[in-house]
Structure 1
Amino acid sequence: MEARADGFPATQALAEKGFVVGAQARLLDSGETLGSIAPDQQMTPASVSKLYTAAAALTQWGPQKRFTTELRSSGAIVDGVLKGDLILDGGGDPGMTSEDYWLLVQGLASRGIHRIDGRVLASQWRFGPVTCVTTDRCDARTRTRHAFDAQLTSTAVNFATWCMRVMPGDAEGVPARVTSCAGATPLTRVDNRITTVSQGNTGISAERTTSGGKDTLVISGQIRMDSDPASVYRSSADPVEQTLATLESIMQGAGIAVTGGFSPTVSRPSSDTRVLSAVEGKPLQEQLLRMLNYSNNFMADVLALDLVNGTPTMQSAATTLDAFARDIPGHGPVSLRSGSGLTPESHTSARGVTALLDHMYHQPALFPVFVAGMQTPVNGPMNFIRRGSERFQQSVMIKTGTLNEPVPVRAVAGYFRTQSGRWGAFTVMVNGRAPTPYINWTTTLEAVASDIDVMIANH
């Protein structure tokens, strides 16, 4: 039943400041609504969209789903020489890392292969390069100061993001040392403009630029001599080229020579190829922990593309997610343009998100994995969510969503446990009407925490 709408008095104050607010909270055993504000208002959910992606993936595959990445060839192996092309068959794994590619190459070495008389081809026939649909990703094809705007492919490494480790130099005034996070030598060009200092604060800025198909990380600022190493993450302009650079470096380290070079392809490996080495990625339940805890846009959008039964595009992935949401009892209208929420054109309602949470709560085999990816503020990896009373911080499991353009979006959804141990679900979405006024997370979370804390205490 729909109870009074005054269960969110602190959140309602945000609406009175000119923001569009949608909210709903209800108990999951009885269905009693504890409060709501315009629960059917269509709003931008930002990264709360990832809850739909996680739920759809668990429903389709179950928690133990693994994606397989393979090295294939039709060539014969003669005295340690592979006579023909080696094909990397990307399996759409959203979590492939440098370590996984190292294991793939070790599979070749275990066969005694020390040379490939042919090319190494990275096949992204499943999907990739995926056409960008947001300003962030389109701009990031040439330059970026972020990691959240990574391009999408089925054949990626390290979430399509370059990682560099910055360490102080040996003396004041000398350049800092910059290495790859996965080894001593960076796999892309680095323009190191960081100076080692003995006093002052460490301050590092970085921009990835791309020209002629080549990425350069321009890293500037200063680092104190007594500082610990600092990691810098920036998305790559072409993830499959990043994968090829990673594979080439690992093969060189393993003593495997390649005569024909390294190239991308969108062709599917032919039926006469055989698997020479394969790696199964981490189970879906582990992938979702990382995707939700760190709100990883790359992982979410790749998973959404994996869900498509047909040709994977951003549009077909969105259609797949919408179909899943519309099958949820009581959900109502929805239009998700991505699995990550990076798309400001995505819309759903507070009632819809709460219906999703309710639906997953009643899936006993899936709910523990689903809720495990959310953050309990008191010990979550994101410090900004540590707001509200101690009771609130220890009694909720939440996913947040943030966008700043074209209008500010602050969204939070999740579960709470009442004083008597009952489970509840809630959703609050705050959307700006224009770029200003800006609303910060402190203001939003303190209002939400105040309202949910009362519900926890009263039940």
Structure 2
Amino acid sequence: MQATRPDSRQVRRPAARLPAGLSLLAALAWLPAAARDQPLPEPVLQALHQARVPADALGAIVLPVGNSLASRLAPRWAHQADRPMQPASTLKLLTSIVALDQIGPNVRGFTELLTRAPQQGDVLAGDLVLRGGADPEFDLPQLWALLLELRQVHGLRMLAGDIVIDRTLFRPSRPEREAAPFDERPEFAYNLVPDALQLNSHLLQIEISSEGAALQARALPPLPGLVFDTSALRPSDRPCAEWLQDWQSPPPADAAEPGVLRIRLQGGFPKACTQRPSLYLLDPLALAERQLRWLWASLGGSWSGQVREAEAPSVPLLTAAQQAAQLPPLRPGAAVVVPGAQRAVSGPGLRLLASHQARPWGELLRTLNKQSSNVYTRLLYLQLGVAAMADNPDLTTRALADRAVRQWLAARRIDAPGLVVDNGSGLSRAERISPRALAQVLLAAHQGRWAPDLLMSLPLAGVDGTLRNRLTAGPAMGQARLKTGLLRDVSALAGYVTDPQGRPWVVVGFLNHPNAVAARPALDALVDWVAGGGLSPASPAPAR
């Protein structure tokens, strides 16, 4: 993507006096560091003052986009830009950019039904394998379609063995067992820790309703073997829209009797109210078993076995290039799904019965960044480590993903002191990056081959995604593409802003403070300042 050429006034403007004796290359390297900790623009200062947030809670930087001499000589602005800070969901930009460059926009997650058991009439005389390939779109309708294919295409009615769930694309296969919940609400979707088989995102939709003091709860759909106990759920006088105010996280489900799980709801729930939340209330294996039984029975099938977890026989995949060159298949765990790739099925009698492919990650980035999906980002981050798993048997997939990110930064000579990447989504109190490092990542992305894919995924100011209700009236409206970030004590914005002369700028701003949420207007003011020409020669100097 070509940057608009700055006008002649800006090219001639002396941004800084260079030390004598510097070569041109040394001078260009010196200029970005010459403008640090500059005065804050007046609208930013006012917004911080109104929120009672000190200026030292802000780390921010504005850099011109482009490789030309004019771009390098263009003005720039920075305030505490080298301080490692909590970036919240703006860290999703780092994961998105590295993934686009390392694995490309056409990689797809997948889910497969496999077997090596013989078929005897309408009976599968053995186990059926359900294998996950980091498919973020594998929900109940997609599972229903795979099972329908077993019934209508393969003519199966009875499953005589077990259903074996294979989550071993990542290491460990159940990452949630090693991860502490982000906060005290582990049952809500933003807290999910994904694995390779994201069946309905491990969520159970329930309907809670009340008529006066009578409270009821049921599963949607009505899965077998689930009982809801509402004896500890009391009616409250809150409005229905505020039902979460008195909600308390349920304890782990109890085995009421063989094959039956009891879910105990507790806290308060408004009178004359109905809510249908999707919650993480059951172990993924227990939930998957009930979902499979309900769907298979609804299709007229029968099954007397159980669900268990194990690693399936290998079904490596060939990339298009390998097919053309007739090279050996990739090692197990190193394969990715490529549109049009053929499957090289291995193992004695192993057969692929049905499969689902997610949309390419290049398309899913729209959901990931515009809606700030933590689950999508964490899945994509783990994909960065999959290719190296076979050669590094002692490292987790997450550790290999972290290594891939750091290698990408090093290859582009982006210095990121203090960088901490926990899960790649920003939903972490440990993750840190400096505004300057993230800005340099955005500059590299803008100059890279996948810039259009990244840009189309970012929320448009005042129009869609997490920015639809922000920056709706100023100069940034409809032209700034920015990723938002919001946690308790953290507010952030990062992305691309165009000024009145059509020149693109990278803008990154982090607020780390107990009142950071209230100070979000300061970040919006910074974006509008840049979009309104704050760095153009005719603009007034920032307030001192």
Q: Is TM > 0.5 for Structure 1 vs Structure 2?
A: yes
Shift of the 56–231 alpha-carbon distance from structure 1 to 2, 3 Å rule, reads farther
2:479 to 381, 395, 406: 395
Q: Is the 8 A contact 2:229 2:262 kept in 1?
A: no
Match of 1:363 in 2: 448
Q: What amino acid maps onto 2:188 in structure 1? A: H
Structure 1 distance, partners of 2:93, 2:289, is: 32
TM alignment of 1:119-134, pairs within 5 A: 119-127=162-170, 128-130=173-175
Match of 1:435 in 2: none
Structure 1 distance, partners of 2:475, 2:117, is: 63
User: Which secondary structure state, in structure 1, belongs to the residue aligned with residue 148 of structure 2?
Assistant: helix
Structure 2 distance, partners of 1:165, 1:289, is: 30
Match of 1:114 in 2: 157
Match of 2:119 in 1: 77
TM alignment of 1:22-171, pairs within 5 A: 22-29=59-66, 30-31=71-72, 32-109=74-151, 110-127=153-170, 128-130=173-175, 135-136=180-181, 144-166=186-208
Structure 2 distance, partners of 1:362, 1:61, is: 17
Q: Is the 8 A contact 1:403 1:410 kept in 2?
A: yes
Output one character per residue of 1:340-390: Cα deviation in whole Å (capped at 9) or x when no partner: 1223222211111111111111124x2222122221231224378524643
Match of 1:209 in 2: 251
Match of 1:411 in 2: 492
1:221 to 269, 278, 287: 269
Deviation at 1:327, TM superposition (A): 2.8
User: Which secondary structure state, in structure 2, belongs to the residue aligned with residue 216 of structure 1?
Assistant: strand
Q: Which has the larger radius of gyration?
A: 2
Deviation at 1:149, TM superposition (A): 1.4
The answer to whether structure 1 residue 6 and structure 2 residue 32 are counterparts is: no
Structure 1 distance, partners of 2:239, 2:62, is: 48
Match of 1:271 in 2: 347
Q: Is the 8 A contact 1:398 1:415 kept in 2?
A: yes
Structure 2 distance, partners of 1:69, 1:192, is: 36
Runs of 5+ in structure 1 lacking a partner? 433-437
Structure (1/2) with the larger strand percentage: 1
1:380 to 450, 453, 464: 464
Q: Is the 8 A contact 1:208 1:218 kept in 2?
A: yes
Structure 2 distance, partners of 1:443, 1:413, is: 16
Give the RMSD, CA atoms, in angstroms: 3.2
Match of 1:424 in 2: 505
Shift of the 398–190 alpha-carbon distance from structure 1 to 2, 3 Å rule, reads farther
The answer to whether structure 1 residue 286 and structure 2 residue 363 are counterparts is: yes
Output one character per residue of 1:320-350: Cα deviation in whole Å (capped at 9) or x when no partner: 2232233334443333122112232222111
Number of aligned positions between the proteins? 439
Scaled by the length of structure 1, what TM-score is found? 0.84
Structure 2 distance, partners of 1:186, 1:289, is: 36
Q: What amino acid maps onto 1:271 in structure 2? A: G
Scaled by the length of structure 2, what TM-score is found? 0.72
Shift of the 204–99 alpha-carbon distance from structure 1 to 2, 3 Å rule, reads same
Q: Is the 8 A contact 1:152 1:239 kept in 2?
A: no
User: Which secondary structure state, in structure 2, belongs to the residue aligned with residue 204 of structure 1?
Assistant: helix
Deviation at 1:420, TM superposition (A): 2.4
- The farther-off stretch of 193-202 and 75-84 is 193-202
Structure 2 distance, partners of 1:199, 1:221, is: 8
Output one character per residue of 1:45-97: Cα deviation in whole Å (capped at 9) or x when no partner: 12212111111221123222212211111011111100110011111223322
Q: What amino acid maps onto 2:434 in structure 1? A: S
Deviation at 1:268, TM superposition (A): 4.8
Structure 2 distance, partners of 1:203, 1:45, is: 29
Match of 1:344 in 2: 429
Output one character per residue of 1:239-285: Cα deviation in whole Å (capped at 9) or x when no partner: 34433332232212112211221222245558232111111112112
- Identity %, equivalent residues: 20
Output one character per residue of 1:385-415: Cα deviation in whole Å (capped at 9) or x when no partner: 52464322323222122333xxx22221111
Runs of 5+ in structure 2 lacking a partner? 1-30, 256-260, 315-345, 390-394, 537-544
